[in-house]
Amino acid sequence: METRRIQIFDTTLRDGEQTPGVSLQTEEKVEIALALAKLQVDVIEAGFPVASPGDFEAVSQIAARVKGPVIAALARANEKDIATAFQAIKLAERPRIHTFIATSDIHLEHKLKMTRAQLLERAEQAVRYAKSLTPDVEFSAEDASRSDWDFLCQVYTKVIAAGANVINVPDTVGYTTPLEFGALITYIRENVPNIDQAVISVHCHDDLGMAVANSLAAVAAGAGQVECTINGLGERAGNAALEELVMALNTRREYYRALSNVNTQQIYRTSRLVSTLTGIAVPPNKAVVGDNAFAHESGIHQHGVMNNPLTYEIISPETVGVSRNAIVLGKHSGRHAFEERLKHLGYDIDAETVNALFVKFKDLADRKKMVFDKDIEALMVEKAAVRPE
Ligand code: KIV
Ligand code: ZN
State the Cα–Cα distance between residues 351 and 342, nearest whole angstrom. 12
The ligand with the least distance to the CA atom of 240 is 2
pLDDT of 307 reads 87
Compute how many other C-beta atoms are within 10 angstroms of the C-beta atom of residue 140: 26
**Whether the CB of 15 sits within 6 Å of ligand 1:** yes
**Whether the CB of 140 sits within 6 Å of ligand 1:** yes
Burial class (CB in 10 A: 0-12, 13-18, 19+), 69: buried
The ligand with the least distance to the CA atom of 100 is 1
Residues in the chain: 389
* Ligand 1 atom 2, closest CA: 172
- Residue 10: which residues within 8 A CB-CB, separation 6 or more? 36, 39, 41, 43, 44, 45, 69, 227, 228, 229, 230, 242
Using the CB atoms, write b or e for 252-291: b if 16+ within 10 Å: eeeebebebebebebbbbbbbbbbebbebebeeebbbbbe
**Whether the CB of 100 sits within 6 Å of ligand 1:** yes
pLDDT of 387 reads 46
**Whether the CB of 206 sits within 6 Å of ligand 1:** no
pLDDT of 170 reads 98
DSSP 214-261: HHHHHHHTT--EEEEBGGG--STT-B-BHHHHHHHHHHTHHHHTEEE-
In angstroms, what is the span from residue 302 Cα to ligand 1's centroid? 43
DSSP 308-334: -GGGT-SS-GGGGT--S----B-TT--
State the Cα–Cα distance between residues 233 and 18, nearest whole angstrom. 8
In angstroms, what is the span from residue 287 Cα to ligand 1's centroid? 24
Closest ligand 1 atom, CA of 143?
Answer: 3
Which residue, among 236, 276, 232, 272, has the nearest Cα to 11 in the 3D structure? 232
Helix (H, G, I), strand (E, B) or coil at 205: strand
Closest ligand 1 atom, CA of 170?
Answer: 3
pLDDT of 389 reads 38
Annotated binding-site residues read 15, 203, 205, 239
In angstroms, what is the span from residue 282 Cα to ligand 1's centroid? 23
Helix (H, G, I), strand (E, B) or coil at 348: coil
Which residue, among 288, 295, 363, 286, has the nearest Cα to 326 in the 3D structure? 295
The ligand with the least distance to the CA atom of 77 is 1
Q: What is the pLDDT along the chain (389 residues), one digit of tens a residue?
A: 789 999 999 999 999 999 999 999 999 999 999 999 999 999 999 999 999 999 999 999 999 999 999 999 999 999 999 999 999 999 999 999 999 999 999 999 999 999 999 999 999 999 999 999 999 999 999 999 999 999 999 999 999 999 999 999 999 999 999 999 999 999 999 999 999 999 999 999 999 999 999 999 999 999 999 999 999 999 999 999 999 999 999 999 999 999 999 999 999 999 999 999 999 999 999 999 998 898 877 878 878 888 888 898 999 999 999 875 556 788 888 898 889 888 878 888 899 999 999 999 999 988 877 787 778 888 887 765 444 33
Largest Cα–Cα distance in the chain?
92
Closest ligand 1 atom, CA of 239?
Answer: 1
Using the CB atoms, write b or e for 129-138: b if 16+ within 10 Å: bbbebbebbb
The ligand with the least distance to the CA atom of 239 is 2
State the Cα–Cα distance between residues 232 and 239, nearest whole angstrom. 5
Annotated binding-site residues for Mn(2+) read 15, 203, 205, 239
In angstroms, what is the span from residue 159 Cα to ligand 2's centroid? 20
Which residue, among 105, 102, 109, has the nearest Cα to 143 in the 3D structure? 102
**Whether the CB of 17 sits within 6 Å of ligand 1:** no
Please, what is the Cα angle at 143 between 137 and 147, to 5 degrees?
Answer: 105
The partner residues of 96 in beta bridges, in order of sequence, read 72
> From the CA atom positions of the chain, what is the Rg in Å?
25
In angstroms, what is the span from residue 317 Cα to ligand 1's centroid? 32
**Whether the CB of 170 sits within 6 Å of ligand 1:** yes
